[in-house]
Structure 1
């Protein structure tokens, strides 16, 4: 069977003998049935847990719309025209609406990138700015001690509307919902304190109940003036296939249930070889982002197995602290030991990769220099097909193979 995997803006193809192919894990029941605008308008007309957005503010109030940055697949440019339609129907003036891209700890956008994210028409009609983790207002502390330091553009607004896409997240359970605020628009200190709970029980992909990271996020967000959220679910082609609006928690949970129904896939046994991709740009910009797909692949591979990861990684490793940790470690287990002794934002993803490396070998197909790939304890290959042939030589010609073309979106379940 020949399978195509997203790789940057192109594709990688791999041919797998039928006798070896155990499963191709893709979302189920996600065939696009309705126009995106119709889905969005239905969600706005029938919000969950709140009145309609157009009734939740008074004319003249400053409205902050929080969206994701370019490392996330949220189709802001397709959502914003419908959202602006709803806001102006309620009497909002365009000069009172600001679109804020939540950077977390990622780099700032260029003006061209902001224009692309917002869409040409929206960019010309309203202010579009990045969050600033260096210019935050302290709103208080969560019960776990996280300082709720939120970028001034958001914290000083009269009403906040959060956008997001919902998919699995390796320690917050799911993306979306209140994550637009923390980590999206928070200070580095706030993000670091929140993420320090990632090694605790319950902080796992697909887990919400008893998840210390998610609970801390939602406690922090409750201190903000979030009036409304509009969250979507995307298919492998990044089209909107589902949308919900309304209360920060209730609407988000509806989306999580939908994702589980489509994307939690049962496996009878762990595979010898797992081939994983993030589905291409923008999710495979750098290794820092690719880690999400790698984490899910680790659920599907057996101890001592091989993960073949395909990602273009045009921006390299992607984050300075993460890169420093990866390049300075002498062995993978050092990364895990280090994070338990001294939690460090950026280092947390290095520790997550170190944990996977303790379980399986990683064959990396990317644009990175081979010397760098080896330096970070992985094995470089020029193509997925070449990597698979090498994996068969190690694991045997009868080795079982699981393929995850949209690795960050699929949660293998071996329970």
Structure 2
């Protein structure tokens, strides 16, 4: 049976005998919306959740700020921004800036900014990358996180948070207030929030008891997000769902819709899991692609194998992460270090190191063999040949294929 595995801007075709494949249970596909993207965007804006329409809310505001995703995210901001701008123009808002939530990621080129937002938004709006050196303190959350927000956002009369909703391996879900925290917050803020990823309830698909997510929501409330617009994407990054309205009521409606489309589970564990981050931009670097490992870790047997197909054209993607990844062979030591002092970038290496205590990880990427070995992985260039060899050794292998790094719940 042929499977398509996204890899960078290309694909890898894989064939595995059907008898060896593990099947997944999908909660429900009944709510998948069969409308075109423009209809979905308009419907969401015409029917905001627990809120008036955007054009009414923004009426009388002298300026507005729209928070959008950076280049490492799949969110197609350019598709919905013209509709948001039309609402703001109807409201009479003249001065509109678009702020890219970089968190700790690299800055954009002007060309990248324009590509992310599209021609209409690039012509009408001021485009700004968030800057961690220009953040102001506005208070502390109940979890002890200092909320330091980019001044361009704080100085705006009206703030709109956008993004796409999907499972996130320790924040529960992306979307909603995550555009603000960590998107446009300081290094100190992000460190404090992300340090809670070590808590038991900080995991994919968990909202109400997830300390990371609840901290994010409180930060959003403190900063004053006036309106959100979130989309749900299919595997080709097409919009198949959208919500807008009050934060966080609209976000909660969005995650209910997302779960109804994408919640998957399985009742057995795999000898081998083959996964991908979902191709570009999610596999632009290992810092981003690592999330796919976390999403499938519960469905692989102890001593099993996870194969990650991730191009990683920009290498590790973050310097601290690259440094800490050289020490993944000693989980106890780096776990001790991260508990003593939380280090952004290091947190992901700790997650990898913990995983490597239980399973073997194989990487198909742009990293050379030496660099791959140094982080505790084994490099392969031909996934099909690797699987064929393993099936020769054991014709009864159970194999799970998760082409887009989806979170899979395990009931075994």
CA deviation digits over 1:167-211, x for unaligned, max 9?
Answer: 001111100000000000000000000011111121111001111
Shift of 1:221: 1.0
The whole-number CA distance in structure 2 between the counterparts of 1:397 and 1:205 is 33
SS of residue paired to 2:226? strand
| Aligned partner of 1:406 among 401, 404, 407 | 404
Does 2:344 match 1:345? Answer: yes
The CA distance in 1 between the partners of 2:25 and 2:5, in whole Å, is 12
Check conservation: 1:273, 1:391, Cα contact below 8 A.
no
CA distance in 1, matches of 2:369, 2:404: 25
Contact 1:332 1:377 in 2 (8 A): no
Q: Is the counterpart of residue 63 in structure 1 residue 99 in structure 2?
A: no
Measure how far apart 1:300 and its partner are.
Answer: 1.3
Aligned to 1:18: 18
Q: Work out whether residues 54 and 87 of structure 1, in 8 Å CA contact, stay in contact via their aligned partners in 2.
A: yes
Q: CA RMSD in A?
A: 1.7
1:16-415 alignment runs, 5 A limit: 16-23=16-23, 29=29, 33-93=34-94, 96-392=95-391, 396-407=394-405, 409-414=406-411
**C-alpha distance in 1 between matches for 2:160 and 2:25:** 34
Asked if the contact 2:269/2:299 (under 8 Å) is kept, the reply is: yes
CA shift at 1:390, angstroms? 4.7
Paired with 1:90 and 1:324, the residues of 2 have a C-alpha distance of 49
CA distance in 1 between partners of 2:407 and 2:76 (Å): 20
Aligned residues: 411
Going from structure 1 to structure 2, the CA distance change for 1:318 and 1:25 (only over 3 Å counts) comes to: farther
Structure-2 separation of matches of 1:139 and 1:339: 27
1-side partners of 2:327 and 2:70: how far apart?
29
In 1, Cα distance between equivalents of 2:175 and 2:280: 19
216-225 or 182-191, larger mean C-alpha shift = 216-225
C-alpha separation between the residues in 1 aligned to 2:265 and 2:24?
Answer: 11
- In the alignment, structure 1 segments of 5+ residues that lack a partner are none
Q: Secondary structure at the match of 2:400?
A: strand
Query: In terms of mean alpha carbon deviation, does 328-337 or 177-186 score higher?
Result: 328-337
Change (3 A) 1:303 1:170: same
Which moves more between the two structures, 358-367 or 257-266? Answer: 257-266
> Cα distance 1:12–1:180, how it changes in 2: closer, same or farther (>3 A)?
same
- 2:23 is equivalent to residue 8 of structure 1: no
